[in-house]
Amino acid sequence: MTASARGGGPRVALLVARFNSMVTGQLERSARERLLEAGLGTESITALYVPGAWDLPQAAMTIADTDRYDVIIAIGCVIRGETAHFDYVAGHASDGLGRVALKVGIPIVFGVLTTDDADQAIARADPNGANKGAEFAEAALEMITLYESHGDDQES
């Protein structure tokens, strides 16, 4: 892993929605473990919390604007219910994070599970199963490398 533009190793923000915390907490733990396995130090990983997935886009924009991080992993979980609430929250999180990703100069990893039921969400957060948290961290590491190599090409 190469150095951050601010010096030292890459800095990662784990932006975590507290709603459905039994799922988002496990996703956060798995992402952190994978980042540490990749050689990032604990000081390079910062966890920040928001109430729910709806809040992820505005928080990601604010955090990106601080210029403290090389990547943001936005972690949330929206489970379908009996009303249209799922569609509004999941759609807003997806569209909003997509707009933020296109606007800011750092990668925003979409780590929001959208499932039909709690069992599906739990299975995707299981570190011994699908382990989506580790997948989100892998995506972040790949995007950091891509952005760094693109920046190097620009300097040549």
Q: Is the pLDDT of residue 3 over 70?
A: no
Yes or no: say if 27 and 75 are a contact pair by the CB < 8 Å rule: yes
* Local confidence band at 143 (pLDDT 50, 70, 90 cut-offs): very high
Phi-psi region of 131 (alpha: psi -120 to 50; beta: other; left: phi over 0): left
Summarize pLDDT for 21-45 with one digit per residue, the tens: 999 999 999 999 999 999 999 999 9
Q: Phi and psi of 149, rounded to 5°?
A: -70, -35
Q: What share of the chain has pLDDT > 70, as a percent?
A: 91
Yes or no: say if 53 and 77 are a contact pair by the CB < 8 Å rule: yes
Summarize pLDDT for 46-58 with one digit per residue, the tens: 999 999 999 999 9
Rounded Cα distance, 47 and 29, in Å:
10
Cross-strand pairs, 113: 77
Report, as residue numbers or ranges, the catalytic residues.
85
The reported pTM is 0.91
**Mean pLDDT for the chain overall:** 91
